[in-house]
Chains A and B, each alone.
Chain A
């Protein structure tokens, strides 16, 4: 194996390339990225970049010298458009064909759009540095921003924009923000926090259409015919895996690139990061995780499996994410989605403090804390990693 091609120029692709080099792989690495930028960090896009605390150059994940030292064949600003699986080559938008001995697919996700709104001026999504710079320029005091979707991106932007003096309306289709992902109790805390900071949160808000005049957005019409006037609209309704270029390739697709417990989608073809739906044996289920830390951890795991085909290791992490909203840090470990029970162990709506344990079946599946010391979560993470039965974990917590 002398030619490894990594498609995806962000955190997951970078972690894979670095891990290959650290392990002594001296062959060629072609590093293909759709964006023109060297790998940069995305979480600050909805935080320090929007507030203006950080200039965009601070987002670089590595310095130029560190990238140069990796000896990559860099193909930035050129998306991959097709894969020839049997022939072993990737086709790029500039017409190049890049042959490989092993392939890493780390193409990430793109924001889900509201149909027809992509071409309306003043309608934004937030995924890339260019998106963040464009949105930042619009967040001026007194302007009206409507955010469609009260997930983590929507909530973080609401917090920043409100702090900048923007009049923010946050639309949530369900009864509470993020209730399906992290439970009703956490949703209540998030909802109250938005309202405490002057953000208008509208729940059960179904968007009928974006209203525009002369190609520029003027508002959002809800299903109940209410029209919310807006100078800008941020569409933050989740993401779609970037797998269009793989259609017809023969690789298994289904809400992401379908991979096994080794993160392999086919012999010599691996998935890394947001795009990969792999079988996590720790939880016994397939998952696709759009968390920053997962991209790097999976990159390390894939590099090992690429270089040690006889000693491959399953990728069995405890997922982790964090979110910063209104100066409050939310952190969670585990697989919270599809939980059967969310048990509040500490705090509540009035305290702006929260510790929740999540049960799936008879196991402790996850834990979430807000407004508490991050150290508290480490013991919980160990319990999740050890597949601790729910009854044991909760008995220990209530005795402590």
Chain B
């Protein structure tokens, strides 16, 4: 799995950080998404898929291999 984020679409809701903190974080100043791991381990794939599913800006994109 390869993860990509669109920072200019992000609305800083932080849902992804709540669901998959191993993969996503937020910038201190404005809460915009920070991608910590663009090729996350298989055990967090489910959480990453859920993050992409609930992202209110559709700013998380997954390429499944």
Residue numbers of A with Cβ under 8 A of B are 11, 15, 18-19, 22, 41, 43, 60-62, 292-293, 296-297, 300, 320, 322, 324, 329, 331, 373-375, 377-378, 381
Contacts and interface: CB of A to CB of B under 8 A. Distances in A.
Contacts, number: 60
Given A60-B58, A292-B56, A331-B13, 20 more contacts: A15-B54, A22-B49, A41-B58, A43-B11, A293-B54, A296-B53, A296-B54, A296-B55, A300-B50, A320-B13, A320-B15, A324-B11, A331-B12, A331-B31, A373-B29, A373-B30, A373-B31, A375-B28, A378-B14, A378-B17
Interface of B: 11-15, 17-18, 26, 28-31, 49-50, 53-58
A63 to B, nearest CB: 9
Nearest to A295: B56
Nearest to A378: B14
Contacts of B57: 41, 43
Contacts of B53: 15, 18-19, 22, 296, 300
A22 B58 CA distance: 17
A61 B58 CA distance: 6
A329 B13 CA distance: 10
A173 B26 CA distance: 38
Given A322-B11, A329-B12, A374 B30 contact: yes
A162 B50 CA distance: 38
B31 A293 contact: no
A293 B50 contact: no
A15 B53 CA distance: 6
A41 B13 CA distance: 15
A322 B54 contact: no
A43 B56 contact: yes
B64 to A, nearest CB: 11
Given A374-B14, A378-B14, A296 B56 contact: yes
A19 B30 CA distance: 30
Contact of B13 (A18, A61, A322, A373): A322
Contacts of A381: 18
B17 A293 contact: no
Contacts of A292: 56
13 contacts: A15-B54, A41-B57, A292-B56, A293-B13, A293-B15, A300-B53, A322-B12, A324-B11, A329-B12, A373-B29, A375-B14, A375-B28, A378-B17
